[in-house]
Each structure stands twice: as C-alpha cells, then as structure tokens.
Amino acid sequence: MSSLYPHAVPGVYARWQALRILLRERFLLEALRPLREDAGDVFFLPLPGMQVAVVAGAEAARMALVTLRPLLSSRLQSDPVVQLLRSGMLVIDGEAHDRMRRIAEPFFRPEYLEAHAGRMLQQIDRRIDAWPDGGVVEMDVEMRRLALEILLDVLFKLPEEAAEELWEPLQAARAYIAPGAWLLCPRIPRPSYRKPLQRLDTLIREFIRQRRSEPDQGDLFSAWVQRTDMNDEEIRDQMTTMLIAGHDTVATWLAWTIALLAWHPEIQTRVREEIREQLGENMPDPRFIHRLPLLRAVGMESLRLFPPIPVLNRRALVPLRMCGVSIPSGTRLLISIYTIHRHPKLWKAPESFQPERFLNPEGEGMGFRYLPFGGGPRFCIGAPLARLEGFLALARMLQRVIFTPLASPPRPHLRATLDPWPGVWVRVQRIAVRGSTA
C-alpha cells in the first residue's frame, strides 16, 4: 500500500465514501473503513491544520504499543482527559507511570480480587432484586451503578452512599472527556463543567482526609495513603483515574453484552443452559468461570465488536517509520481498536456476532488483532477485575433473569466509552432460583 500511496493519504473517492458514512451513521470510527481500505493500515486523516495518523492494523498496533512505545507520549496536554486526571497513571509516561503501576499491581492479583467475589455477588443480587418482574430496565445505567459500587468496594472500601454522592459528578466527568468540539478547538471554554468537576474533587479530597484518620484497610486506597512519598494531590489524581477508567468501561461492556444476548435469544438460551449445567442453582464462583466457555466467548466477542475504549491516543515525540509510512514528529496517533477488531483480513465475518470464534483459540488466535484491554506495558491494569466482576455479573444475571429486547438494537456512539445509543432498554423476566428473592 505504501508504494501506491507513499504518504498514506486516502484518495478523493475514499474520502467521499467516508463522508457519506459519517453523515449517514454519525459514527466517526465506521467512516475510517473506506480510508483504511484505500490507504492501508497506517494512514493520515485529511484534516486541515492537524497532523493525525490512524493505526488500523495488527502489526502497526504492535509497533505503537510495544516497539515504538518509548518514542510516543500518551496524550496531548490540551486533552480534557489530561486536564481531569493530571498525573493519573493513564496519562503519564516513563518512570512516574511505572512507579504508580507497581504500587497498584498487588490489588489486581487474583488472590486479592477473588477474596471479594462474595461481596460482588451480593451487590449483583441486590441490583437484580430491584428489577420489576416483567418490567423494562435501562441496563446501561444499571450496569454503570453496579460497576461503580463494586469498584468502590474492592479498591477503596467505600460504601454505597459514596457511589450515590459520586454519581452526578462522575457523569459530568464522563461528558467532559467525551469527544466533542474541543478536539478541533482545544481552548474552547467549557464553564458548565466547573461546578460538577469541583464537586468531584471535593468529594475525593474528603475521602482522603477521612482515610488518613483510619487504620489500614488493606486496600489500594490505604496503600496510597500510607506511603510517605505520595501526597494528597497525587492520591487525588490516581483515585480519579481509577474511578473514571474502572467503572464506565466495565459498565459499557456489560451493557453491550446484555444487548447482544437480548437481540440473539438463541445464544442467550444456550449460555443459560451452559450455566445451568455447570452451576445448577448454585452461586457463580470465580473457580467456575473457566467451566463456562460459551459465556466467556460471548463476553470476548462483545468486547471485539464494541470495545469500550475503541481508540487509543498517542503522540510521536520524534519522526518515526511505521509499516513503511513516515510519521513526522508531533503527529497525533489514533490507534483504532474498533477498526482492527473489524479488519476483514484479520477476522472472518468481522461484522457478525459469532461468539464461537472464541471457543477455539487456535481458530482465531489473538495477538495484536484483539486489543480490548490495549497491549504492551500499558495493558489495562484493571483487566483481571473487569473480567472477574463482568463474568460473575453475567453468569448471575443469566441465572436469574431472561432479557427480551424492546424497539431496535442500540447503535455505537462515541462518548467517553463506546456507548450503546440510545441505551440498552430490555424487559426482564425473572427465573426462580435458590438464594434469590424471585
């Protein structure tokens, strides 16, 4: 491709097609398809006054995430994610990043996480108990509340009331970092966010003050507070990062998975049968998850079709060469996980929901064509927590309720995560199982 288009700039016809898709579907990532087909796996977006390159292939993604990592910075200073997270692990580089990662890592190990499985299941059951039998529930909102409660309990030993207090400010923070006009005009004033973001800060500082007066709780929060080399400012940044990165992503994944199951009732029935065969009416348990291959495959296929973080941001610190394409210093790189996950040379029938492809790992191996949690040294630190709570929640929900769809299926909408729009509205019908209130 690079010999046809040495500068990796898509041709006029491809741009025209991209524009038509953009106007029809109002979804930028889908519009990248004709551009990639025309200009190859690394190409420049034809934007006036901006140097933006898209990474849309597995080998190019491997280079960006591993080989060339020291030559890339994570984000631009003007990016609202950086404004919000400041020195949070997600947006810093080098030794400062590695240090924060080392401190947090023990709290994402299986032995730590699995000790919380019982409490997670209580939280999951409480939420299911509140759904009216035969009623309509907005699952994306339910899953966001559930993921927030679990996150606060596992990493910060904070009660449900904290989730309630944080809810509104966190919704404002989600909206603040979602793609918008600021991408083209970074200095555009956004006064409506000042108050809710201040409220988020105040709450987090109050939690820190409170924790400083308490004994060690054995969680990540206490680990930060007890360190003499971390001040309140740093703790605020790491905590905001975990709150933002750790609840919305899981919630979006679960909401899309419920939508896929609701709109594919035959697969929903097969997964429920698998759960019944393996668990009967017993509570799901971390040890049983590997005995639910179809459930796992459904979760993985959902992450392939609708990766909650569909694009990763990087910036070239020096001139680079990537898959034959020259990238000038300062270029903004968008690693489009969404496009890679639907690349026809990497996946059979990439647009269809086929969980079976993940039942046979040899059939469709992984590598850098499957990147829901990123890759390389910045691989999502929270992936083990996400998988544990996600599969426990899915197994328990499918044990206890049947999801039936309303209206038409949701469409992907690029916000802070790849949201299902206009939401996942489903009818829930209870199944009587032991230990439930049905």
d(CA 113, CA 129): 24
Show contacts with ligand HEM in window 246-265 (CB under 6 A).
Answer: 246, 249-250, 253
Question: 345, 64 in Cβ contact below 8 A?
Answer: no
Nearest in space to 163 (alpha carbons), one of 249, 155, 73, 98: 155
Residue nearest to ligand HEM (CB): 382
Among 10, 57, 355, 372, binds ligand HEM (CB under 6 A): 372
Residue 117 vs 385, nearer CB to ligand HEM: 385
Classify residue 170 as exposed, middle or buried by CB count within 10 Å of its CB (0-12, 13-18, 19+): buried
Please choose, out of 199-207, 339-347, 366-374, 399-407, the segment that lies near ligand HEM by the rule CB under 6 A. Answer: 366-374
- Residue 117 is a binding residue for ligand HEM (CB under 6 A): no
- Alpha-helical regions (H) of 280-382: 293-305, 337-341
d(CA 111, CA 125): 23
Show contacts with ligand HEM in window 60-79 (CB under 6 A).
Answer: 74
x/- letters, 180..219, toward ligand HEM (CB under 6 A): ----------------------------------------
- Alpha-helical regions (H) of 178-231: 194-212, 220-226
We find the least distance from the C-beta atom of residue 40 to ligand HEM, in angstroms, to be: 22
- Residue 308 is a binding residue for ligand HEM (CB under 6 A): yes
d(CA 398, CA 64): 38
Query: Residue 108 gets which letter from DSSP?
Result: G
Helix, strand, coil proportions of the chain in percent (round to 5)? Answer: 55, 10, 30
Cis peptide before 422 (omega within 30 of 0): yes
Residue 381 vs 398, nearer CB to ligand HEM: 381
Task: Please state the φ and ψ torsions of residue 270, each to the nearest 5 degrees.
Answer: -65, -40
- Residue 145 is a binding residue for ligand HEM (CB under 6 A): no
- Residue 396 is a binding residue for ligand HEM (CB under 6 A): no
We find the least distance from the C-beta atom of residue 214 to ligand HEM, in angstroms, to be: 21
d(CA 338, CA 370): 10
x/- letters, 76..95, toward ligand HEM (CB under 6 A): -------------xx-----
Q: How many CB atoms neighbour CB 429 within 10 A?
A: 14
- Residue 305 is a binding residue for ligand HEM (CB under 6 A): no
Query: Residue 65 gets which letter from DSSP?
Result: I
- Residue 14 is a binding residue for ligand HEM (CB under 6 A): no
| Count of residues of this chain found to bind ligand HEM when the rule CB under 6 A is applied | 24
Please choose, out of 184-192, 256-264, 275-283, 374-382, the segment that lies near ligand HEM by the rule CB under 6 A. Answer: 374-382
- Residue 299 is a binding residue for ligand HEM (CB under 6 A): no
Residue 9 vs 103, nearer CB to ligand HEM: 103
- Residue 53 is a binding residue for ligand HEM (CB under 6 A): no
Beta strands 42-44; 311-316: pairing state: unpaired
We find the least distance from the C-beta atom of residue 87 to ligand HEM, in angstroms, to be: 12
- Residue 338 is a binding residue for ligand HEM (CB under 6 A): no
Q: How many CB atoms neighbour CB 196 within 10 A?
A: 17
- Residue 121 is a binding residue for ligand HEM (CB under 6 A): no
Please choose, out of 134-142, 203-211, 264-272, 380-388, the segment that lies near ligand HEM by the rule CB under 6 A. Answer: 380-388
Among 35, 72, 381, 392, binds ligand HEM (CB under 6 A): 381
We find the least distance from the C-beta atom of residue 20 to ligand HEM, in angstroms, to be: 29
Q: How many CB atoms neighbour CB 16 within 10 A?
A: 12
d(CA 172, CA 197): 7
Beta strands 425-430; 401-405: pairing state: antiparallel
- Residue 36 is a binding residue for ligand HEM (CB under 6 A): no
Please choose, out of 211-219, 222-230, 285-293, 370-378, the segment that lies near ligand HEM by the rule CB under 6 A. Answer: 370-378
Residue 308 vs 420, nearer CB to ligand HEM: 308
- Residue 150 is a binding residue for ligand HEM (CB under 6 A): no
Q: How many CB atoms neighbour CB 185 within 10 A?
A: 10
Q: How many CA atoms lie less than 13 Å away from 326 in the CB half-sphere? A: 6
**Whole-number Cα distances in Å, 168 to 47, 242, 354:** 35, 17, 36
| Sites of contact with ligand HEM (CB under 6 A) | 74, 89-90, 101, 151, 241-242, 245-246, 249-250, 253, 308-309, 312, 372-374, 378, 380-382, 385-386
